[in-house]
């Protein structure tokens, strides 16, 4: 006997990934660290920025990096040269990191060190303006990078990532004199899709804006630690 | 390309749902999704990857039905709802305000499942009780 039935699920399509992401975040909270997910199109300057930021922040913060790279370990090698623990996560053909891959990265990280001694965990996502925005990995903050060479229309063409970002970095500002692009227009288009995010102009080459960027990071870390409850830390 | 991973997540959720039915295996006819326009998902691609992924599985033959949900914003100046577009930088036509509040368009939801239960035969024999 067949009876047509209907179940209402009302479940997020990515529920499986979200569960794993929440699980990752519980670990981060228990370790009292801030996890930042860096996202951008290929070559916008994520690794270059990290090289500068790791060097500058290492004076008083303890950090590690989970490095998402499709097939190579090139970025991981660049960052290891700065003297910070790096775990490469080769994603194969996947065009983004997902929560399960980051969980695998955390297992490897724990073989190297006790994450409870970290203040900051950086995740460099795969270079891609589209899907990393939909796949949470358990991060506390999302940071999107957009280089001035990409043109001022990108926030309008790929709005989801810029909408989701807590902070957008306009990178490679040292190149502005050579480009027919107005940084004000880039910024206006970012604010059009996300009026509330922090926008900072930076150059990993000249160091412009890095101080503002680093103070944003420190501020987020302080906020994150302040809102932890004893239950989260003991989890 | 990320539709493949989305489909994997969807299959995991469907697997969880199936387990709620215990030993009786539901035969799924339609899975109804709601996909917002302001997401990274291309509905046509999702259907293609779904059709490939379910081949030979317990979901073989199940159809994916996708309801596209339009992007709707609410102007924070005057509370009017509007359809933001890239051409007008997502700003409200009434007050020329940036897109602050999104009412709909971010959905990625499994809304419901149409299925039948074959009540007569249990799908699996109950496991023998160890003595
Ligand atoms: N002029 C200039 N070039 C930069 C800057 N930052 C990065 N670059 C250059 O841009 C290129 C890409 O930089 P990466 O740091 O590798 O970019 P990425 O985002 O990590 O790239 P993927 O991980 O491959 O997506 C390199 O040639 C860098 O030297 C900058 O601030 N100014
Ligand atoms: Mg890189
Ligand atoms: Zn209005």
Whether the CB of B9 is below 8 Å from some CB of chain A: the reply is yes
Q: How many CB atoms lie within 10 A of CB B8?
A: 17
Give chain B's domain count: 1
Contact A11 B109 (CB under 8 A): yes
Is the Cβ–Cβ distance between A196 and B98 less than 8 Å? no
Contacts of A10 (CB under 8 A, 6+ apart): B109, B110, B111
* A93 shares contact with chain B (CB less than 8 Å): yes
Contact B101, B23 (CB under 8 A): no
Question: Which sign does the torsion angle of CA B77, B80, B85, B87 carry?
Answer: negative
> Which residues of chain A make contact with B12, given a CB cutoff of 8 A?
15-16
Strands B72-74 and A4-12: unpaired
Which pLDDT score, from 0 to 100, does residue A234 have?
76
Residue range(s) defining the domain that contains residue B46: 2-12+27-116
Q: B29: buried, middle or exposed (CB in 10 Å: 19+, 13-18, 0-12)? A: middle
Q: Which residue has the higher pLDDT, B126 or A7?
A: A7
What DSSP designation does A32 have?
T
pLDDT band at A227 (very low <50, low <70, confident <90, very high): very high
Phi/psi at A42 (nearest 5 deg)? -60, 130
Q: What is the CATH number of the domain that holds B99?
A: 3.30.2320.80
- pLDDT of B21-34, one tens digit each? 887 889 999 999 99
Rounded to an integer, the average pLDDT of A18-28 is 96
Out of B5, B40, B116, closest to residue A133 by CB:
B40
- pLDDT value at residue A90: 79
**Which regions of chain B does DSSP assign to beta strands (E)?**
26-36, 63-69, 72-74, 81-82, 101-104, 108-117
Residue-wise pLDDT tens digits, A193-216: 999 999 999 999 999 999 999 999
> Tens of pLDDT along B55-72?
999 999 999 999 999 999
- Taking the CA of residue B81 and the nearest CA in chain A, the distance in Å comes to 16
Distance from CA of B130 to the nearest CA of A (A): 33
Distance A181 CA to ligand 3 centre (A): 30
User: What pLDDT is stored for residue B130 in this prediction?
Assistant: 58
Q: What's the mean pLDDT when you consider all of chain B?
A: 89
Which bin fits A23, alpha (ψ -120 to 50), beta or left (φ > 0)?
alpha
Into which CATH architecture does domain A33-229 fall?
A: 3-Layer(aba) Sandwich (3.40)
Six-digit token string for A184 = 């004000």
Distance, CA A203 to ligand 1 centroid (Å)? 10
Backbone angles phi, psi at B57, to 5 degrees: -100, 180
Kindly list the domain boundaries of chain A, sorted by start residue: 33-229
DSSP code at position A25: H
B8 interaction partners in chain A (CB closer than 8 Å): 16
pLDDT over threshold 60, residue B124:
no
Question: Which residues fall within 8 angstroms of residue A161, CB to CB, at 6 or more apart?
Answer: A39, A129, A130, A132, A133, A144
At residue A93, does pLDDT exceed 90?
no
| Closest residue to A13, CB basis, from B6, B29, B99 | B6
Q: Is A20 helix (H, G, I), strand (E, B) or coil?
A: helix
Residues A107-119 have a mean pLDDT of 96
Q: Which of A213, A183, A172 is nearest to A48 (CA)?
A: A172
Is residue B19 assigned to a domain? no
Q: How far is B1 from chain A (nearest CA, A)?
A: 7
Distance B83 CA to ligand 2 centre (A): 36
pLDDT confidence of residue B116: 92
For residue B17, is it within any domain?
no
pLDDT above 90: residue A161:
yes
CB contact under 8 A, B115 and A5: yes
Arithmetic mean of pLDDT over chain A: 93
Is residue B58 in a domain?
Answer: yes
CB A181 within 8 A of CB A155: no
What percent of chain B lies above the pLDDT cut of 70? Answer: 89
């Amino acid at each position: 006997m067949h009876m047509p039935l209907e179940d209402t699920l009302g479940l997020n399509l990515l529920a499986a990934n979200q569960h794993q992401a929440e699980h990752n975040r519980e670990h981060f909270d228990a370790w009292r660290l801030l996890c930042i997910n860096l996202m951008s199109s290929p070559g916008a300057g994520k690794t270059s920025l990290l090289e500068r930021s790791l060097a500058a922040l290492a004076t008083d913060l303890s950090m590690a990096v989970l490095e998402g790279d499709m097939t190579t370990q090139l970025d991981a090698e660049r960052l290891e040269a700065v003297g910070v623990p790096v775990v490469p996560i080769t994603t194969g053909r996947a065009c983004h990191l997902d929560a399960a891959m980051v969980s695998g990265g955390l297992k490897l990280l724990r073989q190297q060190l006790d994450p409870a001694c970290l203040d900051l965990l950086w995740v460099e996502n795969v270079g891609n303006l589209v899907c990393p925005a939909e796949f949470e990995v358990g991060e506390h903050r999302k940071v999107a990078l957009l280089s001035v060479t990409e043109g001022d229309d990108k926030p309008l063409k790929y709005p989801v990532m810029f909408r989701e970002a807590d902070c957008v970095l306009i990178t490679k500002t040292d190149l502005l004199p050579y480009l027919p692009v107005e940084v004000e227009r880039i910024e206006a288009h970012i604010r059009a899709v996300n009026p509330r995010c922090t926008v900072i102009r930076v150059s990993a080459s000249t160091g412009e804006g890095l101080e503002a960027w680093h103070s944003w990071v420190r501020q987020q870390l302080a906020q994150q630690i302040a809102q932890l409850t004893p239950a989260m830390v003991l989890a | 390309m990320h539709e493949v991973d989305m489909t994997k997540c969807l299959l995991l959720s469907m697997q969880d749902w199936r387990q709620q039915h215990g030993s009786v295996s539901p035969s799924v006819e339609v899975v109804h999704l709601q996909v917002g326009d302001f997401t990274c998902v291309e509905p046509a691609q999702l259907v293609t990857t779904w059709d490939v992924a379910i081949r030979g599985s317990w979901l073989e033959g199940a159809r994916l039905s996708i309801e596209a949900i339009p992007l709707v914003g609410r102007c924070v100046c005057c509370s009017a709802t509007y359809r933001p577009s890239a051409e007008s930088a997502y700003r409200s036509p009434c007050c020329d305000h940036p897109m602050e509040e999104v009412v709909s368009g971010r959905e990625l939801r499994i809304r419901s499942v149409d299925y039948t239960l074959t009540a007569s035969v249990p799908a699996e024999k109950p496991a023998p009780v160890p003595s």
